[in-house]
Amino acid sequence: MLNDVNGDLVNLYRIVQNHLEEFVRQFKWALSSRQVFEWLKMTRPETLTDIQRAARFYYLQQNAFGARIEGQTFGTATTTPPGLNLLRLEEPLSAAHLRLASTFIEHLSWQACIERYDRPDIRRIFADYHIETTDIRYTVGGGKGSDAKEVLIFSWDVDAEPAGLF
């Protein structure tokens, strides 16, 4: 399950599905440029057509450091080419389609998403296993990061002495 609170992922998928040629045309003569990146970041999505909005989202995601949604900065590297290969747009879009084909994509607030998809039964089902909740900090490239929590379910006894190797 994937939740897209601002709807850009669903819009991109819909545009690629129904208007691929026009979507690709948005990138004709485009360059991976810090200035274009900043201009697109400043552009209010509600002022764009759905096709332009999809192209803006895709361009920013492909050029953002760490593919971040918020607090985006232009990502560059001296050892790899730009993330956006304008001559082969269909390849990563096809790969993304394959990854998303078995995923439910929602457009919900986080509260509605948790209410719909949180499964308290998981703890009951795995009651015989060792379960811990842990704090985690998600960071990219040594940045400040954000705090989160994860549930870990161990399929072995974490308190047992390790068995000898055979």
**Which pLDDT does position 77 carry in this prediction?**
63
80 — pLDDT class (breaks 50, 70, 90) = low
**Residue-wise pLDDT tens digits, 109-128:** 877 877 777 767 667 777 88
Residue 76 makes CB contacts below 8 A (sequence gap 6+) with 34, 82
Q: Give this prediction's pTM.
A: 0.60
Amino acid at 76: T
Which long-range contacts does 49-52 make (Cβ < 8 Å, 24+ apart)?
50/11, 50/14, 50/15, 51/15, 51/19, 51/22, 51/23, 51/26, 52/26
**Which pLDDT does position 90 carry in this prediction?**
79
**Residue-wise pLDDT tens digits, 5-21:** 778 888 988 888 888 88
